[in-house]
Structure 1
Amino acid sequence: MKLLFSTIIISSFLNCALADSFNFEHIGQSPRGSDVPTSRNVGYSITYTNKWTAQNHPFRYPSSDPHYSSFLWASHSSDYVMWENGGTATRGIENVAEIGSIGALRGEVQAEQNMGNVLDDVVGSMIGTAFDGATSISNEDLCVDASHPYVSGLGMIAPSPDWFSGAYNVPLRDEKTMTWYRRVRVNVYAWDAGTEDGDNYQFNNPATTGGVISAFMAGDTEDAVFVSRNGDTLRVLPVAELLFELEESSEKCATNTEDPTDTFLITARRSGNLRRRDCEWARGRRRRCRMEIKNEDGEGSGRPVSEQCPVACAGL
């Protein structure tokens, strides 16, 4: 759809920078750290709490049946982009944004899972009546590991032409300490999928060609969806709060969290002699993880150390 843009001409670079800031913003002391290393597979519960209300977003707020579709969340590596500001909506994103169907998107996610770019996906419940504080809760823990520490997802804001809310590429690990965050709490905003025309909360509008995903931003008038007035300032308020909470004892996700304790043989780099090592020797060391395991006769096994030590070598 075409948004109600400000009559003030703003450079495309500035628009992109502003929209990027609308992906998510941390609340309070978020993110909170933990001492759980990223070598352990863990799970996260996901709660989406609604803030989209007539008080916060008064312009043309729907008089009946404000709701959200089901949500789809996926944990993934940096090689997968579910959606992003300025990107073109896939068929899966279009179906979520226009009709609230997650089936096609789940198919796209599972295809990426087969290629190793996605680890897990979960469904968040629909919000039948979007009152202040209404929640969508994931149906099970979302598993993450050292190679798949990011989360992306979305659900439809309804009724609407092609509007949705969610977040993309939310990191759940602390890059400095290589530990999992215990709690990540962020504000999230409304987005336009760019696939259908319309500036009201209505379905079945003409399709848009060549549209891109974009955030709603305040211009010079309060007569625009998701825009609110705060004194002399126009602003776009978040439509929800998104909470990720660490479930380190998740039964679903606690598979392959420890390497075998068996030792193995490698050829020492300098002396050329066989040396017996264990997975702690290889932990976090890319070169060591790529070395070939030898048999007792010093012959190559065809197996890299990373195959013996998947946890110690995760992400390398």
Structure 2
Amino acid sequence: MTRLLLFFVFFLSVHHHGQCYDFGSVDNPCGREPATIDLPKREGSNGYTIALEGHVNPTTYVPGKTYHVTLRSTPPVSFKGFFLIALREDDIERSSGTFRILDNIQSEVQPDCPYAIKDHASMTKTRITVEWTAPPIGTGCVLFKATVIQRKKVWFMDDGDLTLRLCEGDDTNSNSNDESLDCCACGSPKYKITFEGMWSSRTHRNFPGGYGDHWSDLIGASHTRDYTIWEYDGMSTPGVKQVAELGSPIALEREIRAQGSNIKTVITAPGLWPAIGNMTALFRTNRPHNLVSVLTMLGPSPDWCVGISKANLCTEDCGWEEMKVFDLQPWDAGTDSGLTYRAANAPTRPQEPIHAITSSFPANEQSPFYSSSRVPIRPLARIYLERIELRDTSCDEPVNTGEDDLNLNHGGGMMVKPGMTKPPMMVKPGMTKPPMMNKGNGEDAPTMPPKQMPPKEMPPKEMPPKEMPPAQVPVEQMPPKEMPPKVMPGTGEEVEPIPARPRRPGRPVIDCMMTEFGPWSECSSTCGKGTMVRKRMIKQKPRNGGVKCGKTKEKKRCTLERCPRNEQQRNRARNCKMDKWGDWFPCSVTCGEGVQKRMRRVKKPARGNGRPCEATIEERVCFNPPCQL
């Protein structure tokens, strides 16, 4: 009885804790502008995006089908409040489809507006996901519209990727609207692709672990709309099959190069052993070669892979995208029927189309991604496409056919040379040693000649006495190489030189690569003295003795008008402090599938602009023996 009473008290405290933002009004409960902020919205989307999990560049939906809709930010940006709604394009006063909340800690239904979702508490977050069931046949196009509150005085609404338009069709992943792949932009921009692995034992259950977990070499190209490397519901080519089953990019690279003028740049990057870190490469696009497709194997696995297909880098206003971000979900190449990471070979006959792996398909508990509660799969990886250069070329000039870029090794991966027939060493079940990779430093790096050891000077040979062993000649070690001061972009300040560690033989030295600093935050105080913060991300961690990364966060002081005396005390920021999690309560049912909860209390609430408190109740699914009928 005492435990139930304690649970009830904590339950009330959770729902009372953490004020959420108000939207709408009495006259219009579905209004999307925040009622608690009297400042106008900011222009643009600030990197916030509405997306469908597991779908790349969606343009259509299947009537009656269920999707996972995600509102996310581009790290390190986050948000505190949001409002998400789905409307009919031909009548924006009417809802379209139905939402179901997957996380009641961060989301709730808007009061008096049952077809809209809003934040449950103003806690900091980078993404929320809800389930959406598409409307029936004949509905037409649907508009997802979102409002995002970054902080109490900064909010965005509808602009850019905060509006997603889907029209009724056969499938969201099919590029049935070929006009969406057209391009009217000029120039030949250079892009950097960064593949960030997010698959680990901490984020995904039943992780294979050991030295076998890896991402195979990244392989793809910038190409025209007349060529498809791989796509949803399409059939895997022999090259795609070798990538998905063996992790070998050689056959697919041959297929790509055979396309000739359809290809601008072949994109390659060495794989990750184990499956942590980033893969990067450089490539170019132009008006006819405005699409990008890449693929990599999730290993070990039967035929599972991740990637993007026909990502269009051309904008509707005849420009080039500055940054595009894709969260990647697992795909099945349709060539092997294995259900587990280390399943034995089980060829699929006849071969099936490429299809998505979800938490409900395949509906088999052996699948490492299956969830009886249909919890969406967390992204396994993320791809960033960042424009780093734009050649100022007139549209009247002849457009390059792409042949000059075919033989550039942009990512440092293994290239197919004339006469090469032997593929690299593949990893079979039970193998633990990764294949050797030839790594480079990108498009503009000079080709490194084979490393040659200088002749070793030996002292004159003398015969030692028979009873004495031969004298050992000590091997001299090269002194550590001093790196010159490196200027990080966006700071204008020199970083102290860091002596590099001795290079490992046969492995390239990779320096840390970081993004530019973002804008300074608002002052932490509304009066008196405070601090401002700006952040940047690590794109590539150093390897093999490369230059270490600099600071990811910078602070500086800011001074505003002097605070009244009673305001100074209230303005001091203090982060929320919370107790440790308590033990899990018993399962809510004695048979079948139920729910377990655990709780923690708030020791000290947040004050001022301090970090807010997080959830005080956590839930998980529990299983008991089946109920007897």
What TM-score does the superposition give when structure 1 sets the normalisation length? Answer: 0.65
Task: Please give the alpha-carbon distance, in whole angstroms, between the structure 2 residues aligned to 1:72 and 1:16.
Answer: 32
Paired with 1:128 and 1:49, the residues of 2 have a C-alpha distance of: 13
Match in the other structure for 1:258? 393
Counterpart CA distance in 1 for 2:382 and 2:307 is 10
Moved over 4 A (4+): 13-18, 24-27
Structure of larger gyration radius: 2
Alignment partner of 1:181: what SS?
A: coil
Q: Distance in 2 between matches of 1:15 and 1:154?
A: 30
Contact kept in structure 2, 1:49 and 1:136, CA below 8 Å? yes
Q: For residues 83-132 of structure 1, give each alpha carbon's deviation from its aligned partner in whole angstroms, at most 9, with x where no partner exists.
A: 111111000000000111001101111111x1x2221112122011113x
Deviations 1:36-55 (A, max 9, x none): x9311011111111111223
Residue aligned with 1:236, SS = coil
2: CA distance, partners of 1:26 / 1:124 = 27
Structure 1 residue 61, shift from structure 2 partner? 1.6
The offset of 1:25, in angstroms, is 9.1
Q: CA deviation at 1:225?
A: 2.2
Matched, 1:83 2:230: yes
Structure with the bigger RCO (C-alpha within 8 Å, sep 6+) is 1
Q: Which residue of 2 aligns with 1:119?
A: 264
Q: Please give the secondary structure, in 2, of the residue aligned with 1:242.
A: strand
The match for 1:128 among 273, 291, 308 is 273
| Counterpart among 182, 192, 199 of residue 339 in structure 2 | 199
Bigger proportion of residues as helix: 1
Partner of 2:348: 208
Return the letter of the residue paired with 1:54.
Answer: S
Change (3 A) 1:95 1:124: same
Aligned runs of 1:1-316 on 2, under 5 Å?
27-28=73-74, 38-58=185-205, 60-64=206-210, 65-112=212-259, 114=260, 116-131=261-276, 134-138=277-281, 141-175=282-316, 177-202=317-342, 204-209=344-349, 210-219=351-360, 223=365, 224-227=367-370, 233-248=374-389, 258=393, 309-311=397-399
- Counterpart in 2 of 1:304? none
Residues 218 and 234 of structure 1 are in contact (CA less than 8 Å); yes or no, is this contact kept in structure 2? yes
CA distance in 2, matches of 1:66, 1:206: 20
Partner SS, residue 234 of structure 1: coil
Q: What is the SS of the residue equivalent to 2:368?
A: coil
> 2:331 touches 2:356 (CA, 8 Å); kept in 1?
yes
* Runs of at least 5 residues in structure 1 that lack an aligned partner in the other structure: 1-12, 32-36, 260-279, 284-308
Q: 1:258 to 1:154 in 2, by over 3 A?
A: same
- The number of residue pairs the alignment matches comes to 230
Structure 1 residue identity aligned to 2:384 = L
**Is contact 1:27–1:187 with CA below 8 Å preserved after alignment?**
no
The residue type paired with residue 192 of structure 1 is D
Provide closer, same or farther for how the CA distance between residues 195 and 219 of structure 1 changes in structure 2, counting only shifts above 3 A.
same
1:124-149 Cα deviation digits (max 9, x unpaired)? 22011113xx21112xx211001111
The Cα of 1:17 is off from its aligned counterpart by 8.1
Question: Residues 233, 218 of structure 1: CA spacing in aligned structure 2 closer, same or farther, 3 A cutoff?
Answer: closer
Q: CA deviation at 1:226?
A: 2.7
Percent identity reads 27
C-alpha distance in structure 2 between counterparts of 1:72 and 1:137, whole Å: 11
Tell me if structure 2 keeps the 8 A contact 1:98–1:203. no
Considering only aligned residues, what root-mean-square deviation do their CA atoms show, in Å? 3.1
What's the TM-score once normalised by structure 2's chain length?
0.34
Conserved in 1, the CA contact under 8 Å of 2:286 and 2:399?
Answer: no
Distance 2:380 2:71 in 1: 12
Change (3 A) 1:25 1:126: farther
CA drift at 1:63: 2.7
Q: What are structure 2's unaligned runs of at least 5 residues?
A: 1-61, 78-159, 162-183, 401-629
* Secondary structure in 2 matching 1:310: coil
Distance 2:215 2:64 in 1: 27
